[in-house]
Amino acid sequence: MDVEKRNKGIKIAIIVAIIVLVIIVLVDVFKKYVDTSTWFTTTNITKTEKEVTVTDTGISDAVDKLYDATVIVEVGTSSSSLTGWGSGFVYKVDGNTAYILTNYHVVTGSSYISIVYTDDSTTTGTYVGGDEYADVAVIKVDAKTIKAVAEIGSSSSVKLGDTVFAIGTPVSLSYKFSVTRGILSGKDRLVSMSSSSSQSSYGFSTSESWYMNLLQIDASINSGNSGGPLANSNGQVIGITNSKLSNAYSSTSIENMGFAVPIEDAVMVADQVISTGKVTRPFLGLSMTTVDQASRYNIDVGSADSGAVVVEVQSGSAAEHAGLKSGDIITKYGDYDISDYKYLKYYLYRYKVGDSVTITYTRNGEEHTTDITLTSN
């Protein structure tokens, strides 16, 4: 029995020895014929990083700075017949008079204006003047009634993605002086607007539209916000909220696409109104339409596919003196190409009264140029 156990142990030892020997031989062969130097290589990667600091401590201080300069602009025919409202803010004080800015479309057509402050006190406002094409209006009140004056900033200094906020009274007076926050989503947005007046001030047909150069924001704004301030994170006003895109314009769902008049444009209009009672803009004296609508006026545009089609030239206007006639198709205004009449209106205001501008147009298929000296309205 002991001999049998001893023989079994010897067999096991021999098997183990053979296995060890085979392993040693295989390792030696592996090292000899397989190059392992490239198995695990280290590549030095230079990582370039740009440090981005994100600081978000809220905008409560900025809101506090602007809040009491914000007002509700109620409009109607009398103190007992207020039919609508918008928003606004105190722009400046001159002696005993304070000036409030709002949108032109907020006050147009009204004969009575009531200003409501953040402490619910009210005063009567007097319409000074405004400009439909800039959608800016000026109201004056007794300086003793105001609570604060807004600090004016610069829309050009605000970058895309910067925090902005709006203050206004949307939808219902129950939501008075609401604060909404977002970012600056875009600049230089050309947004189409339509005239609401019965007579144009600048020599254009009132049934036509024009483009406004606006700031785009994603801060929530609604009916009633119109005329209220759009501010940067320092509480400085950089624009006047005036419109938004809604599903009424598209079958696609639209969210958070609001617009504001850049404060530089608003101030230019406001200062003219305060000093003279009106805005002086270049005047052409034209009624125009698009190429695809020209047939409605019995105008044959031939093969033209773009341009501002002249429907009518006002007697005695700068356009008449320059030789423009019904049926002409304006294709260039100064250095700007004109694809339709709304662009002509937009670029018209890039020039001043008294400037001489070269207009390129086609008549009966032939291209012509004429110089026009811009007059005032």
- DSSP-derived secondary structure letter, 156: G
The pairing of strands 163-168 and 229-232 is antiparallel
Active-site position among 68, 114, 131, 135: 135
CA angle 348, 190, 237 (to 5 degrees): 100
Q: Pick from 229, 224, 242: which is nearest to 169 by CA?
A: 224
What are the Cα distances from residue 195, in Å, to 75, 139, 143, 351?
20, 21, 33, 21
Active-site position among 68, 105, 131, 328: 105
Q: Are 135 and 242 in contact (CB under 8 A)?
A: yes
Alpha-carbon distance 260 to 70, whole Å?
16
Active-site position among 87, 185, 226, 287: 226
Query: Which residues partner with 142 through β-bridges?
Result: 97
- Four-CA torsion 350, 356, 361, 364, nearest 10 degrees: 150
Neighbours of 348 (CB within 10 A): 23
Structure tokens given for 81: 């017949």
Alpha helices by DSSP H, the chain: 2-33, 60-67, 104-107, 263-276, 318-321, 341-348
What are the Cα distances from residue 127, in Å, to 137, 195, 296?
8, 20, 39
> Catalytic site residue 321?
no
What are the Cα distances from residue 155, in Å, to 188, 236, 240, 264, 265?
11, 10, 11, 7, 10
Alpha-carbon distance 138 to 155, whole Å?
20
Instruction: Look up tokens 């009518």; give the residue.
Output: 312
> Catalytic site residue 292?
no
> Catalytic site residue 337?
no
Catalytic residues: 105, 135, 226
